[in-house]
């Protein structure tokens, strides 16, 4: 990417900015334990659990109402105290210094997103943050409009394959973040433009990419 080429970056929150996936996975496992079923492995959860959520459980034998399921899930996965990964603040600082607009979009409950936001200085005070959405594509398009960017110049960073699907529906460029979870192939298959292991790899990658005019 040339220095004069304006781009933007939209981040998923759980598992991308916040170290919350172990808690989310615990919630999923609690649902399966409640139903006396074997829990799927973490990589299966990351690659196949997607909005509207219920089909993931139903295909694996869970027979609960949505209300019952999420009552169990939320009790076992209190993510409100999750902390940001150590690479988040320096990476977002670097992007901001480069003048790159940043934002965050999450399917997490809005009260939890507010707690996350309070732990990331760059997302306070008017930054573009949207929570409580199962389909992230409309929010990504809203980010594009806010910063007058074509979707092809907006990178959407996430750790679930559903994040890559949302990026594609918004016509943005998905960036898969792996964080040791072994999901590279699945993220690329879901449409990731490229993958990174940790967030600190993002600015150098953006610096060497040449986007079509």
- For residue 98, give both structure tokens: 């480069």
Q: How far apart are CA 193 and CA 77, in angstroms?
A: 31
pLDDT tens across the length of the chain (213 residues): 444 478 999 999 999 999 999 999 999 999 999 999 999 999 999 999 999 999 999 999 999 999 999 999 999 998 988 999 999 999 999 999 999 999 999 999 999 999 999 999 999 888 999 999 999 999 999 999 999 999 999 999 999 999 999 999 999 999 999 999 999 999 999 999 999 999 999 999 998 887 765
For domain 8-20+82-208, the CATH architecture is 3-Layer(aba) Sandwich (3.40)
Q: How far apart are CA 192 and CA 190, in angstroms?
A: 6
Each as own residue / partner, the long-range contacts of residues 31-39 (CB below 8 Å, 24 or more positions apart, any chain) are 31/57, 31/62, 31/64, 31/69, 31/72, 31/73, 31/76, 32/60, 32/62, 34/64, 34/72, 35/61, 35/62, 35/63, 35/64, 37/61, 37/62
Residue partners of 137: CB distance under 8 A and separation at least 6: 166, 167, 169, 170
User: What residues does each domain of the chain span?
Assistant: 8-20+82-208, 21-80
């Amino acid at each position: 990417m040339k220095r004069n080429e304006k781009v933007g970056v939209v981040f998923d929150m759980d598992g991308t900015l916040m170290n919350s996936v172990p808690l989310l996975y615990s919630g999923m496992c609690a649902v399966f334990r409640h139903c006396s079923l074997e829990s799927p492995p973490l990589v299966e959860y990351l690659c196949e659990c997607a909005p509207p959520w219920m089909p993931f459980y139903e295909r694996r034998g869970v027979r609960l109402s949505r209300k019952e399921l999420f009552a169990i899930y939320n009790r076992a996965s209190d993510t409100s105290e999750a902390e940001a990964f150590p690479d988040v603040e320096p990476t977002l600082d670097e992007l901001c210094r480069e003048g790159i607009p940043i934002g965050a979009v999450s399917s997490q409950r809005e009260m939890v997103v507010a707690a996350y936001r309070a732990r990331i200085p760059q997302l306070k005070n008017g930054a573009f943050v949207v929570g409580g959405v199962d389909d992230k594509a409309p929010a990504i398009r809203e980010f594009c409009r806010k910063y007058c960017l074509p979707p092809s110049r907006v990178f959407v960073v996430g750790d679930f394959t559903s994040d890559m699907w949302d990026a594609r529906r918004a016509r943005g460029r998905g960036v898969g973040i792996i964080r040791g979870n072994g999901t590279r192939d699945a993220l690329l298959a879901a449409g990731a433009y490229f993958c990174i292991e940790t967030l600190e790899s993002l600015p150098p990658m953006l610096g060497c990419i040449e986007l079509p005019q």
